[in-house]
Homo-oligomer: A and B are copies of this chain.
Amino acid sequence: MAREHHVAIAGATGAVGAEFLRILEDREFPLASVRLLASERSVGREIRFRGRDHRVELLSEGSFDGCDIAFFSAGASRSRAFAPAAVRAGAIVIDNSSAYRMDTDTPLVVPEVNPEDIDWHRGIIANPNCSTIIMLMAVAPLRSLAKLRRIIVSTYQAASGAGARAMEELLDQTARVLRKEPVTPVAFPHPIAFNLFSHNSSIDETGYNEEERKMILEARKILHDDGLKVTATCVRVPVVRAHSESINVEFDGARPSLDSVRETLNSFPGVALVDDVEHNHFPMPLEATGRDEVLVGRIRNDLSNDNAIDLFVSGDQILKGAALNGYQIALEWIRRGCPKGSAR
Contacts and interface: CB of A to CB of B under 8 A. Distances in A.
A237 B286 CA distance: 12
Interface in A228-271: 229-231, 233, 235, 237-240, 244, 246, 248, 258
Contacts of A195: 239, 284-286
B231 A303 contact: yes
A175 B179 CA distance: 9
Given A198-B312, A282-B198, A304 B229 contact: yes
B231 A305 contact: yes
B178 A299 contact: no
Contact of A233 (B190, B196, B310): B310
Interface in A165-216: 170-171, 174-175, 178, 189-191, 194-198, 200, 203, 206-209, 216
Contact of A284 (B190, B301, B308): B190
A104 interface: no
Contacts of A209: 280
Interface stretch (A139-147, A150-158, A331-339): A150-158
A246 B155 CA distance: 9
A2 interface: no
Given A206-B303, A207-B300, A194 B235 contact: no
A246 B230 contact: no
Contacts of A206: 300-301, 303
Given A178-B174, A239-B194, A285-B195, A229 B280 contact: no
B196 A285 contact: yes
A249 B207 CA distance: 16
Interface in A275-311: 277, 280-282, 284-286, 297-305, 308, 310
A233 B300 CA distance: 11
Contacts of A233: 154, 246, 298, 310, 312
Pairs of residues from A and B, 10 with the lowest C-beta to C-beta distance, nearest first: A207-B300, A229-B304, A154-B246, A154-B154, A195-B286, A231-B304, A198-B282, A233-B246, A231-B302, A197-B284
Interface of A: 150-152, 154, 156, 170-171, 174-175, 178, 189-191, 194-198, 200, 203, 206-209, 216, 229-231, 233, 235, 237-240, 244, 246, 248, 258, 277, 280-282, 284-286, 297-305, 308, 310, 312
